[in-house]
Amino acid sequence: MRVGIDDTDSPRGGCTTWALTELARLARDDGLDLIGAPHLVRLNPNIPWKTRGNAALSMRLGHGLGTPTAVGELDGRPVVAYHRGREPDPDEAARYVEEARRTVTRLAPRDRGTDPALVVTPGPLPSSLYWTAVRDRTTLGKVEPVLRRAGATTWVRSGRRGLIGASAAIAWPARRATWELIAYRRPAAWGTSRRVDAATVLAAQRAWPELFLCHDPRTRRLLVAPHTACPILFGLRGTTPEAPRAALGRIRSEPVDRWMLFRTNQATGDHLVPRSVPALRGYRAGWVRGSVDAPVSVLPGGHVRFDLRDRAGQRLVCLAFEPTKTLPDVARALVAGDRLRVWGSRGPGGALRLEGIEVLALASPGRWRAPRCDRCAGRCRSLGSGRGWKCPRCRLRLPPERAGWSPVPRTVAPGTYHPTPSARRHLAPRAPETGPTPVF
Ligand SMILES: [Zn+2]
């Protein structure tokens, strides 16, 4: 059976991933095993009512078969997961759902705007539920019939909106995936400043190159620890499950209360899909190809705006925001005719908020200059468009094609440009973190 939860956090605290560790503890107490690691699924980052990371979670429970692997630690005891298993009995499943409902009720903060939801299904859900929730705006009207057909048990405390995320987390096919090991603080430390030794984080990243988004060399920010009052101490992201698990022992910090390894869609770029300008409606994300339409303008605060035209001539306003550090520099150096592929999400105002720029081909701006005279080396004068050149001193005539082209030097090279690591979104495709160097 699959268990999905969403929206047990709020801007004032709480944490959906922590709630999932409590549900995993409950499963262990009930004699149920994790089948595979729990899933941490990021959904469309552009939905306006979602101010935080828009994460939902799911896990699969049953009776494990074969050899288990450690995916966490709770109350000083390991949490293990099996590659495969058999389904729980209906009585066991029903008892678990009842206890899970009570746990989620207890943990979700009673804030306005927090709509905790729990979805339990006896089998998988169609992956289309995930793809719509990560790339587009979806509605309960589309999700609820699918849940009914799947025989799902659902619970919400107030609004039903959380059902969308909880279902999408169950529906995530997890084929393209990375990992995040999240270490949690003791409850007594929640809300106080975190103690994580940055030098040991940097050493771990050097020792395990599979780790990513640990630190931003440009802004010198440590990226593993959040800055909110949530229970998370730090999160180690990796392209393999082994690297964060091995690195955990290297990080010096305040005591770790518990940890859990999540399989996640972070850094997969799953929210991006090639779109034409008209198809990239508000709150959607995507890739668009086109040519720069001059002029590029620098806005207050160091943001840069330029217009892009796709093949059909449709215009798209693109915004490179200052906190991305790298993108405004690239945007400022663009001229009309440069061919680009850009990606990002479209805000309510219609502008594309850039998450990256690929410079495919540069236009070569410049101007025609009058040739020098073959006889006296003086500068010729134009006789008019297409009519050639004439030396004012010795009257020698030269044909139009003798004009010289003087190109304007370019300060941007073809290549792919990503935001500085601290400004990358959870879903943003994985990319080098060493600075503004283009990747060819
Ligand atoms: Zn001359």
User: How confident is the model at residue 155, as a pLDDT?
Assistant: 93
Q: How far is the CA of 408 from the centre of ligand 1 (A)?
A: 28
Of 269, 264, 238, 244, give the one whose Cα is nearest residue 58: 264
Task: Provide the pLDDT confidence category of residue 106 given band limits of 50, 70 and 90.
Answer: confident
Which run of H or of E encompasses 329?
helix 326-332
Average pLDDT, the chain: 91
Percent of the chain with pLDDT over 70: 95
Q: How far is the CA of 209 from the centre of ligand 1 (A)?
A: 66
Q: How far is the CA of 366 from the centre of ligand 1 (A)?
A: 25
Say which range, 6-10, 88-92, 317-321, has the weakest mean pLDDT: 6-10
Of 55, 177, 131, 416, give the one whose Cα is nearest residue 285: 131
User: How confident is the model at residue 227, as a pLDDT?
Assistant: 84
Looking at per-residue pLDDT, the higher value among 160 and 118 belongs to 118
Q: How far is the CA of 382 from the centre of ligand 1 (A)?
A: 13
Q: How far is the CA of 348 from the centre of ligand 1 (A)?
A: 62
pLDDT in tens, 210-219: 999 999 988 8
| 266, 43 Cβ separation under 8 angstroms | no
Say which range, 19-23, 225-229, 308-312, has the weakest mean pLDDT: 225-229
Residue with tokens 């207050």: 300
Q: How far is the CA of 376 from the centre of ligand 1 (A)?
A: 4
**Coil/strand/helix, residue 422:** helix
pLDDT in tens, 404-415: 888 888 999 999
The amino acid present at 362, given as its one-letter code, is L
Task: Provide the pLDDT confidence category of residue 359 given band limits of 50, 70 and 90.
Answer: very high
Q: How far is the CA of 397 from the centre of ligand 1 (A)?
A: 9
| Gap between the Cα atoms of 426 and 407, Å rounded | 41
Q: Which one of 45-49, 50-54, 239-243, 369-373 scores highest in mean pLDDT?
A: 239-243
| Verdict on whether the full-model pTM lies above 0.85 | yes
User: From residue 422, how far is each of 15, 219, 433 by CA, in Å?
Assistant: 21, 8, 10
Q: How far is the CA of 134 from the centre of ligand 1 (A)?
A: 69
Which run of H or of E encompasses 184?
strand 178-185
User: How confident is the model at residue 10, as a pLDDT?
Assistant: 55
User: From residue 305, how far is each of 174, 352, 410 by CA, in Å?
Assistant: 36, 10, 18
Q: How far is the CA of 390 from the centre of ligand 1 (A)?
A: 8
Which run of H or of E encompasses 192?
none
pLDDT in tens, 377-408: 999 999 988 899 999 999 999 999 898 888 88
Average pLDDT over residues 422-426: 90
Q: How far is the CA of 378 from the centre of ligand 1 (A)?
A: 5
Residue with tokens 């746990």: 103
Task: Provide the pLDDT confidence category of residue 439 given band limits of 50, 70 and 90.
Answer: very low
